[in-house]
């Protein structure tokens, strides 16, 4: 097989890249080791920055998002028994869209299939080769047949546990990591949202987040240990913690049947550079952020927007200087989002060994953020998405 761009991974990054390249008349093949059913069902992020939503609309894959997505013009920060609103629209003129990553992926798969170009699920034994040459290659097995895909470039959009990043020789990449001593226990509940916008809550018992997926489905989280045993968290205990951490006088949390639950550990991780030869990393293959700042999906889409742009320029002009600038352009945004996500995380979560001094610092920061217009604007700008790349 032969293509211009071989894309490993059919998550939001890989599928968005394939669609953007199609619009530029650049051929690609997308390979995914999971089944279509699995990819379309896995629950992930649900907050789209305005720039992400705009890109999907402009690319022609945002019709259902525009129809079903829920626009939020702010979020709430809750602490010391009070809830404070950060007004995105007033502070930045922008908003966010609540639309689940699963729905984004479904829309992108439909768009890809409509092009008639290859999207192969359940491929096995994927490996990348000769990435320092002008003819890198992806080897894989599909439907029991060994295949080789010759490419001009390879896009590694296969996530933190994928094969692309580990294929880069030792000593080429620098890795920067931080592990957090807590995780999120998340539930999807058949419960209408109890708030018109997201609520980020700081509490003595730990962080909590009130979010949603649709007007009928709530997405809620409580801070827990990263190695938490789900058997220790029956539904009754989860709702008890949510009531305790989110409760306010005169406000009621709506309960409903728990449809899904799971624990997510939290880490920050970045590799530099995001390119080696003709292998380009994008999304979780290159960086991980804690979920507090709602940046993971948005960073992945920002990466491939840049990658599609520089590849289109290279195919048009033959110049490699824009290709050479891919990593630097992306990392500028990555590190800004890493900092914002770390800052939100450290401000809102209670560390296992936290003392009263740390608690007082957190509360002081929260009071400042919710009382100073420049501080509120800084949070709002970062949350709705900065134009950096």
- Residue positions annotated with a catalytic role: 72, 200, 291, 295, 383
Backbone angles phi, psi at 348, to 5 degrees: -105, -20
- The residues facing 84 across adjacent strands are 77
Contact 333, 386 (CB under 8 A): yes
CA distances from 338 to 5, 142, 327 (A): 28, 37, 16
- Give the DSSP letter string of 4-28: SEEEE--SHHHHHHHHHHHHTT--E
Dist CA 42 CA 362 (whole Å): 34
- CA 260 to CA 233: how far, in whole Å? 12
Quick check: helix, strand or coil at residue 381? helix
Beta strand segments in the chain, E: 5-8, 28-31, 47-48, 70-72, 74-79, 82-87, 96-98, 119-120, 124-129, 137-142, 145-150, 153-156, 174-189, 199-201, 208-214, 217-224, 258-272, 275-276, 279-281, 287-288
Residue where the block lists tokens 């009928």: 216
Rounded Cα distance, 154 and 4, in Å = 9
Angle at alpha carbon of residue 120, lines to 115 and 126, rounded to 5° = 140
Residue 230's SS3 state is helix
Query: Mapping DSSP to helix (H, G, I), strand (E, B) and coil, where does residue 221 land?
Result: strand
**CA distances, 300 to each of 52, 94, 180, 226, 323 (Å):** 10, 20, 22, 24, 18
70 touches 30 (CB < 8 A)? no
Distances (CA, A) of 129 to 68, 137, 170, 324: 42, 5, 15, 20
């Amino acid at each position: 097989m032969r293509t211009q761009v071989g894309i490993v991974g059919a998550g939001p990054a890989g599928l968005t890249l394939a669609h953007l390249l199609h619009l530029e008349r650049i051929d690609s093949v997308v390979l995914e080791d999971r089944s279509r059913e699995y990819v379309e069902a896995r629950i992930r992020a649900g907050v789209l920055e305005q720039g992400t939503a705009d890109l999907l609309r402009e690319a022609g894959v945002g019709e259902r998002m525009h129809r079903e997505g829920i626009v939020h013009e702010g979020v709430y920060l809750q602490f010391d028994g009070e809830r404070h609103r950060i007004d995105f629209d007033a502070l930045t003129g922008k908003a966010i869209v609540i639309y689940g990553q699963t729905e984004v992926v479904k829309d992108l798969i439909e768009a890809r299939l409509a092009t008639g170009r290859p999207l192969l699920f359940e491929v096995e034994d994927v490996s990348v080769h000769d990435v320092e040459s002008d003819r890198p290659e992806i080897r894989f097995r599909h439907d029991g047949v060994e295949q080789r895909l010759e490419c001009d470039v390879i896009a590694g959009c296969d996530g933190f546990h994928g094969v692309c990043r580990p294929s880069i020789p030792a000593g080429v990449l620098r890795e920067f990591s931080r592990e957090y001593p807590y995780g999120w226990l998340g539930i999807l509940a058949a419960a209408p949202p109890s708030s018109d916008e997201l609520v980020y809550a700081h509490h003595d018992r730990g962080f909590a987040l009130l979010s949603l997926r649709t007007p009928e489905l709530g997405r809620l989280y409580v801070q827990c240990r990263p190695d938490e045993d789900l058997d220790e968290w029956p539904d009754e205990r989860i709702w008890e913690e949510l009531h305790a951490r989110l409760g306010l006088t005169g406000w009621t949390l709506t309960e409903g049947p728990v449809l899904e639950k799971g624990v997510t550990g939290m880490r920050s991780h970045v590799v530099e550079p995001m390119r080696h030869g003709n292998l380009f990393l994008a999304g979780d293959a290159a960086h991980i952020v804690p979920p507090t700042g709602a940046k993971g999906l948005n960073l992945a889409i920002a990466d491939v927007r840049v990658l599609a742009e520089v590849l289109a320029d290279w195919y048009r002009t033959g110049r490699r200087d824009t290709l050479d600038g891919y990593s630097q352009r992306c990392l500028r945004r990555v590190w800004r989002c890493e900092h914002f996500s770390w800052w939100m995380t450290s401000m809102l979560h209670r560390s296992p060994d936290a003392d009263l001094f740390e608690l007082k610092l957190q509360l002081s920061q929260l009071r400042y953020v919710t009382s100073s217009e420049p501080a509120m604007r800084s949070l709002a700008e970062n949350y709705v998405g900065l134009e950096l790349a």
